[in-house]
Amino acid sequence: MSKVSTLSVNDVLVQCEGNIVSDMDGEKVMLSIEKGKYYNLGEVGGAIWETLSTPLSVKDIIYKIQTAYEVEADICEQDVIPFLQHLIEEELIRFTHAG
């Protein structure tokens, strides 16, 4: 299993297909059909997941979360990038190109 190199804020990501996602009391939960694994994305993780329904740059994801949750840009980036890297490692999101 290879470790994902550090994401650039200019990388563009999008959801992988084949996951069942549901809302449970304001949090997103997901089942990966391919892996047979269950994930609880939580409230903020669910918001990040929703932004990835269409290709979006890491920079834009951070901005959307920063704005929605009124958090400092550097703190938001420190929290969002490792979360995105985990989603990539779990093959729930992938690199793509905008447009």
Confidence of residue 99 (pLDDT cuts 50, 70, 90): low
Q: Which ranges of 56-98 does DSSP label H, i.e. alpha helix?
A: 58-69, 73-89
- What confidence tens digit (pLDDT) does each residue in 5-20 have? 689 999 999 999 999 9
Tokens of 53: 């329904």
Nearest residue to 57 via CA among 22, 19, 14: 14
The structural domains of the chain, with segments of one domain joined by +, span 12-96
Confidence of residue 83 (pLDDT cuts 50, 70, 90): very high
Residue burial 16-33, b: 16+ Cβ < 10 Å; e: rest? beebebeeeeeebbbebe
Supply the DSSP symbol for 1: -
**Architecture of the domain defined by 12-96:** Orthogonal Bundle (1.10)
- What confidence tens digit (pLDDT) does each residue in 38-78 have? 999 999 999 999 999 999 999 999 999 999 999 999 999 99
